[in-house]
Structure 1
């Protein structure tokens, strides 16, 4: 949809043209409506939201992120408030209530029917960011001794109440997960075939208390439409569906990107986020980095006498610091990404460090040839040789630091993205200067 067409809703709301707003809402899909609502102030967004048909109201609401969902709920009357929450899927409702202010959470739970309240409370009982908070308990469960024909009858009878029927859990007498069967397999199988003869017993599964992001990554790796979730005794408790897995991966990647740029993640649509909130998300990390960068000043002070003897060394400091920082950032970004998708584990630390050491050395040799040429043109002689040698050592060192810091951070329980590009760059700047002046003094005999 063109930007001009999307902006039309804002213009209609400003003109308070309710008839045209209804027509606009009827002509656009839920995800486009949700995007436009997230761009508006909450006091304004509630106007078109109230004009939605009941059937589409829930679809649009579930497309909103939790921050804007809370704002919409605050603007609804009690009847509409409770009807909306009652009609939500249990997993979506549990996450909404879990992230909502206490006042909204209490109001929400109090208005739910006993059945929905029980399901929601069960999901809220799992740890935050665990699979249990994101799974759906509304599934069609089949017993392994059923025939295919009988299983299809159960799906037809209960499928309308389930969030998905494409992947069906199969259990034994103790409700322990025996495996899963795909709806497509049921449809093409003979009616008299027993489920235990076609069930996939090797299908991936996770415990409800495991991290949700890891489960979502597992689904991505295994190409699953839904992932079975079990308790500590292997009893089936729910399914993690692909739409929730996609949201988890998107949220995790967005958080990593924010931390890699030395900022805290900010919930909500960027257009609607206020300037003070954006500043708060960034200022803490910038303060930490500016304090850390004083290491560079300290190093320069320590080699002030060296610079007084060979002032030409100062000409190449920006180039050397920039090159080392860039190499370290590339290495750190690659390892953070590899950690996120499970390509690298903590035990791979020696292997990763050795590989990145060789990569850094190779890059250093290539870049040193350019640095030598530039240095020789500017200051022929020993200084250019010192610069070229420093580039090789600094690039090798930066690659090692950039690759090991995220792994060490994971080892001590810190998000690897926190110690990525900016932090690595700051550290490499300070240590790179030590390397540079050390090599320069050796080459020049200072």
Structure 2
């Protein structure tokens, strides 16, 4: 991309990142719009990639966003609009004239239009649907009819399908004619008269084939596909596994109804990873808006639910300590090692849960086997406990000026790390088996559970040792 229209490279570097380009464009764009230099804006944006233009417009003050967007050519405006954040898209719909809005929505790709409609109020969606052309309205209603986060909702209906009886020359003519209106031309699909998917070939195969050869002779009949109700995570894994640029989607009768392209899958992977990270940190994922642009009340609301649960669960730790206060009264130094033990157990449990949840996400853990995975983490927890024991016990023995504290810490440390690793591995697997998101078994929850168990083990061990020494 020629960057001459957006200023010199930043800090003398030979190249700049997309974020840096957007930052420079935003600064120059705001200055030109404020000065009324609209011809300069058009010259500035001409060499810039649509995704960078979208980010730059999104960074502008609200009053300037619509003005900058109106200065784009029609074709460029459609492409830029699809890269805008949902909040900016909605803001522009409110600020643009109804005719501009209708043209914008009409010319969007069906899958991008559906994602926009998912963010809009139902009343606005009904109005826009009613104003679409019959063909676009039918396609949009069809996609909206599929369940959220499935292949049917994610797919686009803009693809090229051929027939087995077409020659390579005829097929190339079809590709040239339909290319401007399709999402991708690199994967071509073959269907029969009832639109059943019968084969696939790449554009490379078509171009290099003998001009008079039939498509049925050069296509591949074994086609990897997904159904309309396939979960979007499975679609993403299939594209990742086979390195596809697009994946065909069929209905229950095996008719080809759409394709999912790799750019949409990248968005899915980011979305699912964000949800898992939020869940692992005991934060409700909420809607698809930017977490850092949410107001503070929304941020607090998302965090408070799990925090209340964890506070109540931690109350059990207090209860365990209170019911064993006689042990602490006899040996006060025992209390000094409680944070060390529960902290170690919590960290080990969090590590095990992270490994297992990631293994489930990538499906690598199925290769090992679920029971073997739990056993492996249990052994790892025991080994970690042994290594920690070699460091902590001598110190505890020295601080306690005798065997009681050191022995209690050593036995408890081994038990706690083993238990924490087992719980951290097995609880996410249990959630997975129950059909729930394993990431919901978050690290804070596992940490809290191991805290309660760890304190109970530690104080009961110390009590047992005191009784043994007394006898």
TM normalised by structure 2 equals: 0.88
Secondary structure in 1 matching 2:248: strand
Alignment CA distance shift 1:12-1:139 (3 Å): same
Asked whether the equivalents of residues 33 and 68 of structure 2 are also in contact (C-alpha less than 8 Å), the reply is no
Distance in 2 between residues matched to 1:132 and 1:28, nearest whole Å: 33
Distance in 1 between residues matched to 2:466 and 2:211, nearest whole Å: 87
Structure 1 residue corresponding to 2:440, chosen from 404, 418, 422 = 418
Asked whether the equivalents of residues 148 and 192 of structure 1 are also in contact (C-alpha less than 8 Å), the reply is yes
Distance in 1 between residues matched to 2:325 and 2:56, nearest whole Å: 57
- 1:184 is matched with 204
Asked whether the equivalents of residues 416 and 457 of structure 2 are also in contact (C-alpha less than 8 Å), the reply is yes
Alpha-carbon shift at residue 21 of structure 1 (Å): 4.8
Cα shift readout 1:263-284 (whole Å, capped 9, x = no counterpart): 1225334553322222222222
Asked whether the equivalents of residues 382 and 418 of structure 2 are also in contact (C-alpha less than 8 Å), the reply is yes
Alignment CA distance shift 1:278-1:43 (3 Å): farther
Distance in 1 between residues matched to 2:177 and 2:23, nearest whole Å: 46
Greater displacement, 60-69 / 137-146: 60-69
Matched, 1:147 2:137: no
- 1:261 is matched with 281
Distance in 2 between residues matched to 1:286 and 1:324, nearest whole Å: 19
Show structure 2 runs of 5+ residues with no match: 1-16
1:302-381 to structure 2, matched below 5 A, reads 302-345=323-366, 348-380=369-401, 381=403
Distance in 1 between residues matched to 2:362 and 2:47, nearest whole Å: 39
Alignment CA distance shift 1:342-1:53 (3 Å): same
Structure 2 residue corresponding to 1:219, chosen from 228, 236, 239 = 239
Q: How many residues align?
A: 446
Alignment CA distance shift 1:118-1:410 (3 Å): same
- 1:56 is matched with 76
Structure 1 residue corresponding to 2:269, chosen from 249, 260, 263 = 249
Distance in 1 between residues matched to 2:305 and 2:44, nearest whole Å: 42
Alignment CA distance shift 1:192-1:63 (3 Å): same
Alignment CA distance shift 1:191-1:291 (3 Å): same
Matched, 1:195 2:215: yes
- 1:126 is matched with 146
Secondary structure in 1 matching 2:190: strand
Greater displacement, 270-279 / 293-302: 270-279
Distance in 1 between residues matched to 2:368 and 2:142, nearest whole Å: 36
Alpha-carbon shift at residue 172 of structure 1 (Å): 2.5
Greater displacement, 393-402 / 58-67: 58-67
Alignment CA distance shift 1:294-1:79 (3 Å): same
Cα shift readout 1:288-315 (whole Å, capped 9, x = no counterpart): 2212221211111121111111111111
Distance in 2 between residues matched to 1:180 and 1:49, nearest whole Å: 39
Distance in 1 between residues matched to 2:219 and 2:34, nearest whole Å: 59
- 1:437 is matched with 459
Distance in 1 between residues matched to 2:412 and 2:255, nearest whole Å: 60
Consecutive aligned runs of 4 or more in structure 1 exceeding 6 Å deviation: none
Matched, 1:404 2:423: no
Structure 2 residue corresponding to 1:382, chosen from 404, 413, 417 = 404
Alignment CA distance shift 1:96-1:373 (3 Å): same
Asked whether the equivalents of residues 428 and 441 of structure 2 are also in contact (C-alpha less than 8 Å), the reply is yes
Asked whether the equivalents of residues 205 and 230 of structure 1 are also in contact (C-alpha less than 8 Å), the reply is yes
Alignment CA distance shift 1:399-1:9 (3 Å): farther
Cα shift readout 1:56-112 (whole Å, capped 9, x = no counterpart): 222221112333322322222101111110110011111211332112212221221
Alpha-carbon shift at residue 168 of structure 1 (Å): 1.0
Alignment CA distance shift 1:39-1:417 (3 Å): farther
1:48-87 to structure 2, matched below 5 A, reads 48-87=68-107
Alpha-carbon shift at residue 422 of structure 1 (Å): 1.1
- 2:27 is matched with 8
- 2:309 is matched with 288
Structure 2 residue corresponding to 1:210, chosen from 225, 230, 234 = 230
Secondary structure in 2 matching 1:164: coil
Distance in 1 between residues matched to 2:77 and 2:253, nearest whole Å: 39
Distance in 1 between residues matched to 2:278 and 2:102, nearest whole Å: 35
Cα shift readout 1:332-377 (whole Å, capped 9, x = no counterpart): 1111112122223599432221111111111111122111133233
Distance in 2 between residues matched to 1:189 and 1:346, nearest whole Å: 40
Alpha-carbon shift at residue 13 of structure 1 (Å): 8.0
Distance in 1 between residues matched to 2:165 and 2:90, nearest whole Å: 45
Distance in 1 between residues matched to 2:231 and 2:161, nearest whole Å: 24
Alpha-carbon shift at residue 405 of structure 1 (Å): 1.4
Secondary structure in 2 matching 1:445: helix
Asked whether the equivalents of residues 180 and 201 of structure 1 are also in contact (C-alpha less than 8 Å), the reply is yes
